[in-house]
Structure 1
């Protein structure tokens, strides 16, 4: 029987869920508070420059293909992919960087040049990571987090010890060089927690990195959003922007619609891809499952200070993606997770999409995106933002041996306060809730409300977790739970 479904938000998980729900034959409408779709994956344009505002790493291409295959399509029907080589560079000092290439053999060679014997160790480590990837990404993450029994399979039983060890300890048993250790610890940062707090099993992220490579949609990650939008529209989904939700309308402990501009819009099902904490604030207290104390006790992934910068010349000695690990990796992690504060000497990430996509900047110019991970919930003001831009641009000039400060045409910043204002993000988090052992699978906030019938959730604060591929999977899981409820 056809149901009317209202979806809150238009990020990856909401768009994915809308496609599955429309395919089931439902009448689906997405309501987005902002003027454009995409959520954190929106696009920013200024003076001929184009920037992805959020996700910029295209990893796990198989997850995207599996999504489109569910609709008899492939990603190439909607956007073109370019494999980056090098995938990225990691800078440790002046004339001191390591390039991560687009194949494992070249990466092994780069490792071997730094630490004798590490090439063979890396191959063994990545083979184990692939084994974990095959279990996790091809199976476990497609389970809805309803029961702990979902994690008990013949394969996971053989790897039980990996749920109690941690990624950092495992890497340090195999490798001694601190640079190689930091490169191998880097991928799990996408999961939102310190490597020392991330279960060993999650080393599958290293296979996603070294095994599957880093890709770039031809004109940026927003190509993927456009692709999902096109598919959704083909399936009959309606999308309404400039539609902030005031309240979720509940009748007899059942979600019966949403309120926009003081008007009740009736729906049989309400699915929220917006921030989970914010979504529950749209309910009366008696209908909320998770208390403020609960949210306060969770480990959240970082917030971020972002800069979108237009340069009037080409930038040299840099790759499309670049990580700047020339300061203390562990101290920055402490400043995010253990003693939340603005880091004295932050690590940072830089992305120059115009190195790959000539449409990202006017001819002869460069678009630059800079990111500093920060603790969620800390103070945010323009003075701090400016101070930190000066810190990273000074180091950038030193490490890449060039002057670029006087070539800046414009610079726009985005930080904690903006994450709250634009996305209703709890404490201004950028990536959701970290995937620690006690925040994995069935231990995350549920896809289905326990107190309000016909109310569902999707996205980075629920199952399976942070990141773009998990967001697509989250949309599928929520849609499957909704479909199951129709039959019960």
Structure 2
């Protein structure tokens, strides 16, 4: 058995894999190119404000618990979770918003109040979603994506039609309210594709939303990173920051022989990359790459994002911890991401104010604001465009929430396509990886095990099971199991 493993990157999938591999007796070293651990889930602090730079939603708490339980631990051993109520709020126009309760019965009632008869349809929809969740999260997503037969089980054969219908069709079959449709279609955006391109089977995301609720780790999502690093360290994992991998070295037998890190050669028996899959293959010789530039260019990628981290000198009103602004054309914005890539003419956007729930994220009487606009990956990114869109969304924010905030901005920091490329070597500056469309699901995603280079493996959002924090934890486990199987 190979004992010496280097992991490239320190995002959630890499941290997960480091723990599982160390538990199995491997000597594991994690190499992080940036000066702090966590990959896209790093933290930004300024003047008493604290921001999560990347993931901000804590969904599927059972997946986190399953991860820690594999090591005889609980999430509560490392951080404190608060269940949000409301889970989130959605604005549809001026003085028009709906809050998603932590209580499923209250959600049914809200639907009924908005559209008579819709509660009955929602109950049926959530029942299907829960069944799919149990099938997917407890079984399917833990498969390595090696064979199409992984998808064939006694439970999935009865759901074949759901892989060939879409979330959009399923939702719109019985629900007519545009507001309720947007709420039901929203969760699949975490999978990185349009609802009209996402298989109906993925309605399990709606159960993750309504059934399991939205949570917040006190101190921010970075507390999860810190917890995983603490666990990994206790298992013997070594971490090195400011460690940029320049090259994956192979021998004459097409086996991994080492890495070039900051210009110096390091010997290793095996490499697992939690870095961007496309970028990792650029570290190989041309004939060692599995996937061509043409292959990548034809894939449907999840959006990039324009992000703003804003310190306000006052408390912000009429918003919730997570607040979505769906007051513009959902379909048009989606087309401007996926079909006709360009800067959106009238973007939807998301904002979160962790300091509403978590007093540690802003000084007393002040507010920490995080704003996100989904964008097409690979588009032009300039400071002028960032500034234009900052004012565009804050102008709308002020009108929709009936308050002045622009004059209360103490500072702001932006992060966009160029930063995703520079900080994370992200293909086209995407933020979430490869979308989970029908033709990019399970065995149809890039493989965990390289078919060209022995002892080279991949984990993370461009391989199985796909984008999102819970899938990243799962991806680390799947990669470890495949490594052990092949040694």
In which range does the TM-score fall when normalised by the shorter chain? Answer: over 0.9
Match of 1:338 in 2: 339
Whole-angstrom distance in 1 between the partners of 2:285 and 2:270: 18
Match of 1:168 in 2: 168
Correspondence 1:327-476 to 2 at 5 A = 327-476=328-477
**Deviation sequence 1:236-266 (CA, Å, 0-9, x none):** 0000000000000111200112101221111
Match of 1:267 in 2: 268
TM-score normalised per structure 1:
0.99
- On the 8 A contact 2:2/2:270 being kept in 1, the answer is no
| Alignment partner of 1:289 is 2:274 | no
- On the 8 A contact 2:309/2:370 being kept in 1, the answer is yes
Match of 1:100 in 2: 100
> In the TM superposition, what is the alpha-carbon distance from 1:119 to its structure 2 partner?
1.1
**Deviation sequence 1:156-193 (CA, Å, 0-9, x none):** 00000000000001100010000000000000000000
Tell me the matched-pair count. Answer: 486
Match of 1:183 in 2: 183
> In the TM superposition, what is the alpha-carbon distance from 1:93 to its structure 2 partner?
0.9
Name stretches of at least 5 consecutive residues in structure 1 with no aligned partner: none
- On the 8 A contact 2:341/2:376 being kept in 1, the answer is yes
Whole-angstrom distance in 2 between the partners of 1:87 and 1:210: 9
**Deviation sequence 1:367-398 (CA, Å, 0-9, x none):** 00000000000000000000000110000000
Whole-angstrom distance in 2 between the partners of 1:396 and 1:163: 38
- On the 8 A contact 1:2/1:25 being kept in 2, the answer is no
Residue aligned with 2:138, SS? coil
Whole-angstrom distance in 1 between the partners of 2:198 and 2:2: 42
Residue aligned with 1:99, SS? strand
Match of 1:300 in 2: 301
Whole-angstrom distance in 1 between the partners of 2:10 and 2:360: 25
> In the TM superposition, what is the alpha-carbon distance from 1:333 to its structure 2 partner?
0.3
Whole-angstrom distance in 1 between the partners of 2:383 and 2:423: 17
Match of 1:72 in 2: 72
> In the TM superposition, what is the alpha-carbon distance from 1:48 to its structure 2 partner?
0.7
Whole-angstrom distance in 2 between the partners of 1:262 and 1:240: 15
Whole-angstrom distance in 2 between the partners of 1:386 and 1:105: 42
Whole-angstrom distance in 1 between the partners of 2:446 and 2:402: 47
- On the 8 A contact 1:449/1:456 being kept in 2, the answer is yes
Residue aligned with 2:155, SS? helix
Whole-angstrom distance in 2 between the partners of 1:174 and 1:458: 39
Residue aligned with 1:122, SS? helix
Whole-angstrom distance in 2 between the partners of 1:284 and 1:364: 55
Whole-angstrom distance in 2 between the partners of 1:261 and 1:42: 22
- On the 8 A contact 2:2/2:269 being kept in 1, the answer is no
Residue aligned with 1:410, SS? strand
- On the 8 A contact 1:255/1:269 being kept in 2, the answer is yes
> In the TM superposition, what is the alpha-carbon distance from 1:2 to its structure 2 partner?
5.7
Residue aligned with 2:245, SS? coil
Match of 1:4 in 2: 4
**Deviation sequence 1:206-250 (CA, Å, 0-9, x none):** 000000000000111000000000000000000000000000011
Whole-angstrom distance in 2 between the partners of 1:267 and 1:92: 54
**Deviation sequence 1:414-453 (CA, Å, 0-9, x none):** 0000000000000000000000000000000000000000
Whole-angstrom distance in 1 between the partners of 2:447 and 2:174: 37
**Deviation sequence 1:85-129 (CA, Å, 0-9, x none):** 000000011110000000110111111111001112111110100
Whole-angstrom distance in 2 between the partners of 1:45 and 1:250: 40
